Amino acid sequence: MYHVRDGIIGLAIAEALGVPTESNHREDLLEKPVTKMIPKISSGIPKGAWGPGTSMAIATMDAISKQGINYTAIADNFVKWFTTNKFCSISESFGIENTTLKALVRYTQHMDEAYECGSDDYYDNGNDALARILPVAYYFSVHKDTDKNIYDVVKKVASITHAHEISVLGCYIYVRFAMFLLKGNNKFSALNKVKSLDYSMFKKNSLDEYSRILVANITDLEIEEIKSTSYIVDTLEAAIWCLLKSDSYKECAIATTNIGGDTDTIGAVAGGLAGIAYGFGNIPKNYLDDLRKKDYLIELCENYETFLRKM
C-alpha cells in the first residue's frame, strides 16, 4: 500500500546514474550511452552518489515523519543538508541550485515564514522543488483530503524555495501523477486522470506552459522535440516522456541518464515515478549494489512507512 521504498530508491538511483552525465550533450550520450553507475571524475564524485533531489526529498520525508506537514521543520532540514551535510550521499552537499540557495539564506535570516522564502520570479522556475516533492504524494495517498488542501500543501512546500505559479503547478501535477500511480493506476491511466483534474486555481498562462502534458499526447513527440533543461516545465516533460516511452525501470533510468542536459534532476523526477510504476523488484540489482548509503535510505523509507501506518 505504501511503496515508499519503490519511489525513493527509484528516485535516488536514477539521480545517481545522471550525476556523471549532467551537462553532457545528448548527441554524445546517445552515441555512447551510459548504462551503469560511473563516477563523475571531473568533480571527484564517486559512482552511486545521489545529489540534491534525493537529499531534499529524504529531508522532507524525515521532517514529515517526525512532525507531520510542518513547513518550518522541512526548511530546517534543508538548512541542515546545506550547512552540515546531513542527508547527503557523500561527505559534502553538491549541486545546490541558486534559487534554492537564496531561499535558504533568506530563511536563515528569519525574514519570512518558511513557505514565503521562495522566489516568485519567472526566471527562478528551476526544478529543485519538483525533484523533492514526492514525499508529499505519499502523505496524501494515505491522508485523504480535498483537492484544495492538497494544492495548498503542495504550494507551501514548493514555495519554501520556488514560489512562482509555474513551479507550484509543476509540483502539483507531479504529486497528483504519483498519487494516481500509488492508487494502482498504470502510467497511462494516471496521466489521463491528471489531465482530468480541476486546475481552476491556476492562471491560463501557467496552464499553457504545461499544455503538452495536460492537453496534447506527449508520447507523440519525438526525442528531438523534448528539451532537457533545468526549467521545471522542460524537466517534467522529459521525465514523463521517458517514463511513458519505457517498459521497465531500467529503460526509464537509462533514458534519463542519456537525454543530455540536466540528467540528474530529470532522473530524480522520472525515477521516483518509475520506481512506483514498475516496483522495487524491477530495479536492477547492480544499480542497488552501487547505490551509496542504500541501507540508510531504506531505513528512512521504513521510518516514513511507520509514520504513514499510524496516520
- Total domains in the chain come to 1
Query: Residue 156, Cβ neighbours under 10 Å: how many?
Result: 20
| pLDDT for res 183 | 96
> Residue 263 in contact with residue 228, Cβ under 8 Å?
yes
Q: Which parts of 68-133 fold into alpha helices (H)?
A: 71-84, 98-108, 128-132
Residues 242-288 pLDDT 10s: 999 999 999 999 999 999 999 999 999 999 999 999 999 999 999 99
3-state helix, strand, coil in the chain (%, to 5): 65, 0, 35
Question: What are the phi and psi torsion angles at 264 (to 5°)?
Answer: -70, -45
Mean predicted confidence (pLDDT) in 102-108:
95
> Residue 52 in contact with residue 19, Cβ under 8 Å?
no
| pLDDT for res 1 | 58
Which residue from 22, 31, 27 is spatially nearest to 52, judged by alpha carbons? 22
Which residue from 152, 147, 176, 179 is spatially nearest to 2, judged by alpha carbons? 179
C-alpha cell at 166: 509555474
Burial class of residue 193, CB neighbours in 10 A (0-12, 13-18, 19+): middle
Integer Cα distance of 88 and 173 in angstroms? 27
| pLDDT for res 311 | 86
Q: What is the pTM of this model?
A: 0.97
Report residue 110's pLDDT band, with 50, 70 and 90 as the boundaries: confident
> Residue 58 in contact with residue 81, Cβ under 8 Å?
no
> 250 in helix, strand or coil?
helix
Q: What dihedral do alpha carbons 304, 74, 178, 270 form, nearest 10°?
A: -110
Which domain CATH number covers 178?
1.10.4080.10
Residues 145-195 pLDDT 10s: 999 999 999 999 999 999 999 999 999 999 999 999 999 999 999 999 999
Tell me: pLDDT of 111 over 90: no
| pLDDT for res 9 | 98
Tell me which DSSP letter residue 46 carries: P
Residue that has been written with the C-alpha cell 551509496 in this structure: 292
Alpha carbon separation from 110 to 100, 101, 106, 114, 209 (Å, rounded): 16, 15, 7, 9, 33
Distance of alpha carbon 180 from its chain centroid, rounded? 16
| pLDDT for res 92 | 87
| pLDDT for res 101 | 96
Mean predicted confidence (pLDDT) in 10-37:
97
Integer-rounded Cα Rg, in Å, for the chain is 17
Domain range for 81: 4-309
